[in-house]
């Protein structure tokens, strides 16, 4: 299966100033989520219209809502499940994994002493009255100027492991929840993810991107050493997280009704306010399991804009035929515009590695398995983007990717 588009993007876009102004008196550090007033709702709708118009006019697909209804990319799912309770001010570092890169970074770089998380305090159940992201998807769907564009729209959701990986081992669920081990917790959570995805499908969604940046933490020395201090086997933990995807997608893959559903997974190393990242390390430690054992994922969005931070293309040799990779070559962290010829050369470098692995020619490998994108969203957090990034430069970077795609594939 080749990529859906030769140029893709990760979903979040810089917020128009009117939306930021409407939310200015809200504490977005809580993230789960700010109260949506009538004024904020109007600003969100207006902002989504602007984002859609920019994407359609510039022929940038797939279409997204920029994640404008969210405070941060992962808000909107866990807190909308029954049995889950938001804890807005868990203490850093005591409530979290030892030396967990995000929380240690929040404390050291931003001085934050608490972080919000969602913990299971009862049996986790799907909320029929408020399915995660359904209202957001309906808003996007209804704001499309032409419903023929619906098949070109994408929505993003967070990974099932998002809460669990951060929290101190054994604390993603309370004793009152009834869960006694991680598998029981994840079985119920996976069932809710299955329901959330199929509900979105039933309302016209055919393209879902799962944001799982924490998988790159298994490539980082500080995370690995912190787990060792906690007595956690990172091999077992990675296997568990990958297994959860099979629990989510086996029911979907076994039903021909969903045969036209596309699912991608985005991995990165963090893109906090001011272009901060949390971890470093190439994909070598996880690539074989990631590409071959993750059930239900067609496309992998991988960060490759900075070799020092993200490593080289060599791990792509583990990619099996039938799956594809979107190379995140353009940075959302820096405002400087990349060199088109350098980007073309990088695609060819990645294509050669895949060609050798597939036993095919370089052009065939590039056509079969590659696309390009920015390395992350432009504004994973509502308030800010990369250092020096502007509204206009955001679109220039996406249009540059289009120029590269036309040179390589003759299309976007």
Tokens 């997608």 belong to 249
Instruction: In whole angstroms, give the CA distance from residue 60 to residue 70.
Output: 21
pLDDT at 53: 97
pLDDT of residue 30: 55
Measured CA to CA, the distance from residue 94 to residue 369 in angstroms comes to: 43
Is-contact 299 207, C-beta < 8 A? Answer: no
Q: Can you read off the two tokens belonging to residue 290? A: 């990631």
pLDDT of residue 105: 85
- Hey, what CATH class is 17-316+376-386 in? alpha beta
Cis peptide before 93 (omega within 30 of 0): yes
The residues that bridge with 49 in the sheet, in sequence order, are: none
Q: Is 322 left (phi over 0), alpha (psi -120 to 50) or beta?
A: left
Q: What is the pLDDT of residue 186?
A: 98
Closest by CA to 136, choosing from 10, 37, 45, is: 45
Which of 118, 114, 116 shows the shortest CA–CA distance to 127? 118
Give the pTM.
0.95
Q: In the prediction, which pLDDT does 274 show? A: 57
Q: What is the pLDDT of residue 182?
A: 98
Q: How many CB atoms lie within 10 A of CB 91?
A: 11
Domain boundaries, the chain: 17-316+376-386
If the chain, 412 residues long, is cut into consecutive pieces of 10 residues, what is the mean pLDDT of each piece? 93 92 67 70 95 96 95 91 95 95 83 92 97 97 95 97 97 97 98 98 98 94 95 98 98 96 92 64 95 96 85 96 97 94 97 98 98 93 78 96 96 74
């Amino acid at each position: 299966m080749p990529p859906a588009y030769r140029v893709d993007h990760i979903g979040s876009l810089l917020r128009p100033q009117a939306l930021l102004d409407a939310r200015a008196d809200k504490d977005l550090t809580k993230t789960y989520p700010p109260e949506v007033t009538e004024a904020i709702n109007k600003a969100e709708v207006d902002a989504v219209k602007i984002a859609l118009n920019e994407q359609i006019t510039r022929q940038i697909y797939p279409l997204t809502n920029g994640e404008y209804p969210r405070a941060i990319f992962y808000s909107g799912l866990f807190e909308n499940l029954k049995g889950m309770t938001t804890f807005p001010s868990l203490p850093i570092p005591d409530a979290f994994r030892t030396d967990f890169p995000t929380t240690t970074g929040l404390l050291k770089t931003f001085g934050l002493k608490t972080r919000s998380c969602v913990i299971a305090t009862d049996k986790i159940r799907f909320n029929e009255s408020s399915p995660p992201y359904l209202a957001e998807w309906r808003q996007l769907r209804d704001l499309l100027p032409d419903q023929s564009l619906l098949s070109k729209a994408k929505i993003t959701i967070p990974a099932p492991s998002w809460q669990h990986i951060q929290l101190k081992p054994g604390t993603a669920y309370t004793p009152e929840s009834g869960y006694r081990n991680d598998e029981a917790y994840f079985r119920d959570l996976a069932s809710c993810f299955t329901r959330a995805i199929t509900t979105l499908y039933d309302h016209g969604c055919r393209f879902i991107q799962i944001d799982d940046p924490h998988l790159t933490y298994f490539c980082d020395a500080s995370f690995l050493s912190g787990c060792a201090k906690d007595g956690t086997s990172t091999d077992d933990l990675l296997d568990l997280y990958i297994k959860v995807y099979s629990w989510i997608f086996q029911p979907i893959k076994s039903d021909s009704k969903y045969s036209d559903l596309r699912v991608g997974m985005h991995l990165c190393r963090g893109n906090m306010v001011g272009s901060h990242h949390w971890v470093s390390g190439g994909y070598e430690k996880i690539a074989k399991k990631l590409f071959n054992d993750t059930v239900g994922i067609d496309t992998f969005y991988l960060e490759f804009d900075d070799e020092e931070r993200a490593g080289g293309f060599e791990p792509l040799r583990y990619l099996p035929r039938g799956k594809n990779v979107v190379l995140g070559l353009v940075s959302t962290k820096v405002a400087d515009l990349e060199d088109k010829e350098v980007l073309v050369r990088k695609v060819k470098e990645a294509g050669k590695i895949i060609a050798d692995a597939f036993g095919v020619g370089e052009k065939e490998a590039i056509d079969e398995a590659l696309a390009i994108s920015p390395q992350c969203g432009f504004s994973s957090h509502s308030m800010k983007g990369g250092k020096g990034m502007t509204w206009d430069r955001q679109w220039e970077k996406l249009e540059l990717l289009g120029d590269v795609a036309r040179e390589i594939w003759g299309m976007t």
